[in-house]
């Protein structure tokens, strides 16, 4: 518009005249600059979001489906580990020693006659002399689970041997035998190698190798059984270390 209010006259190119007002103070343009910068920031954010999403959108819905399948597989693996089949004893093909150097129930002899229950799912009667090769841990009454249980389980596992855990059912004064539920909880403290829980209601193993009835033992009694069924050693209150590792490793060569 012209200052007198009349319509602008067209210029030589047929376009109307435009009156441009240049402010005397540049600060008057501050609001426009702020709005311009905000719009530029929004554009940059949209461009970054498109760049990040481009690998996922390049193949349509394939990538989200693959990611979902991997997540399901991972969760399935965790659930199978937690709730899958329980551990089973490793079988041995070695024959029992025909003429051991000691009587059954002694070091150098076979395990005693009798049977125990393998407490994995339903109780499974198991002859004592089938407990080979490996380590039998006999837990005394009122036992507080120690780290040596996990240590024995780990050493047996890495040498492809069995590790059985059984409670001494005989009372020691006013101390009662560890219940089967607590024994299983103690076995669950082993994260590398799973102990196999036994129930010896007659106390055959404890009577042969653990401290005398009525005496509170200082810890687990570890019975080391070779592939031929011969008891190579019995250790009261074993402690983690090279000596214990070597005793377990020696069962393989034995």
Give the chain's domains with CATH numbers.
1-84 (no CATH), 115-253 (3.40.30.10)
Percent of the chain with pLDDT over 70: 76
Is 215 in a helix, a strand, or coil? coil
Residue of higher predicted confidence among 247 and 23: 247
pLDDT of residue 12: 59
Compute the average pLDDT of residues 179-191.
Answer: 92
pLDDT of residue 49: 84
Residue 163's closest CA among 243, 251, 253, 254? 251
Q: Using CB atoms within 10 A of its CB, is residue 23 exposed (0-12), middle (13-18) or buried (19+)?
A: exposed
Strands 162-167 and 134-139, by their bridges, are: parallel
pLDDT of residue 121: 74
* 3-state DSSP percent of the chain in helix, strand and coil, to 5: 40, 20, 45
Q: What residue spans of the chain are helical by DSSP H?
A: 30-58, 62-83, 147-158, 180-187, 204-209, 242-253
Beta bridge partners of 199: 117
Of 18-22, 134-138, 216-220, 241-245, the poorest mean pLDDT is in 18-22
Residue 250's closest CA among 164, 155, 139? 155
Of 76-80, 178-182, 230-234, the poorest mean pLDDT is in 76-80
Compute the average pLDDT of residues 124-132.
Answer: 91
Of 49-63, 82-96, 113-127, 204-218, the poorest mean pLDDT is in 82-96
Q: Are 105 and 112 in contact (CB under 8 A)?
A: yes
Region for residue 231 given its phi and psi (left: phi exceeds 0; alpha: psi -120 to 50; beta: otherwise): beta
pLDDT of residue 211: 87
Residue of higher predicted confidence among 11 and 225: 225
Whether residue 30 has pLDDT greater than 80: no
Compute the average pLDDT of residues 105-134.
Answer: 91
Compute the average pLDDT of residues 238-250.
Answer: 93
Residue of higher predicted confidence among 184 and 82: 184
Strands 115-120 and 162-167, by their bridges, are: unpaired
Could you tell me the pTM of the whole model? 0.64
Percent of the chain with pLDDT over 90: 47
pLDDT of residue 129: 92
Using pLDDT thresholds of 50, 70 and 90, give the confidence band for residue 85.
very low
Whether residue 47 has pLDDT greater than 60: yes
Question: Token pair of 61, please?
Answer: 């819905």
pLDDT of residue 171: 82
Region for residue 73 given its phi and psi (left: phi exceeds 0; alpha: psi -120 to 50; beta: otherwise): alpha
């Amino acid at each position: 518009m012209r200052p007198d209010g009349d319509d602008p006259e067209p210029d030589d190119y047929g376009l109307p005249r435009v009156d441009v007002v240049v402010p005397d103070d540049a600060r008057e343009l501050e609001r426009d600059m702020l709005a311009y910068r905000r719009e530029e920031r929004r554009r940059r954010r949209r461009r970054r979001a498109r760049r990040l999403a481009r690998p996922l959108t390049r193949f349509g819905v394939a990538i989200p489906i693959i990611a979902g399948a991997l997540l399901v597989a991972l969760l399935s693996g965790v659930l199978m580990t937690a709730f899958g089949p329980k551990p089973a004893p490793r079988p041995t093909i070695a024959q029992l020693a025909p003429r051991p150097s000691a009587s059954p129930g002694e070091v150098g002899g076979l395990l005693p006659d009798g049977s125990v229950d393998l407490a994995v799912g339903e109780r499974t009667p198991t002859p004592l002399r089938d407990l080979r090769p490996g380590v039998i841990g006999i837990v005394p009454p009122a036992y507080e689970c120690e780290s040596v249980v996990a240590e024995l389980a780990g050493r047996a596992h890495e040498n492809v041997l069995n590790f059985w855990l059984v409670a001494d059912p005989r009372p020691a004064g006013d101390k009662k035998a560890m219940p089967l539920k607590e024994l299983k909880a103690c076995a669950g403290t082993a994260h590398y190698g799973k102990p196999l829980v036994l129930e010896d209601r007659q106390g055959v193993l404890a009577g042969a190798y653990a401290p005398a009835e009525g005496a509170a033992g200082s810890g687990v009694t570890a019975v080391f059984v070779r592939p031929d069924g011969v008891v190579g050693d019995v250790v009261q209150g074993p402690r983690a270390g090279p000596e214990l590792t070597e005793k377990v490793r020696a069962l393989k060569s034995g």
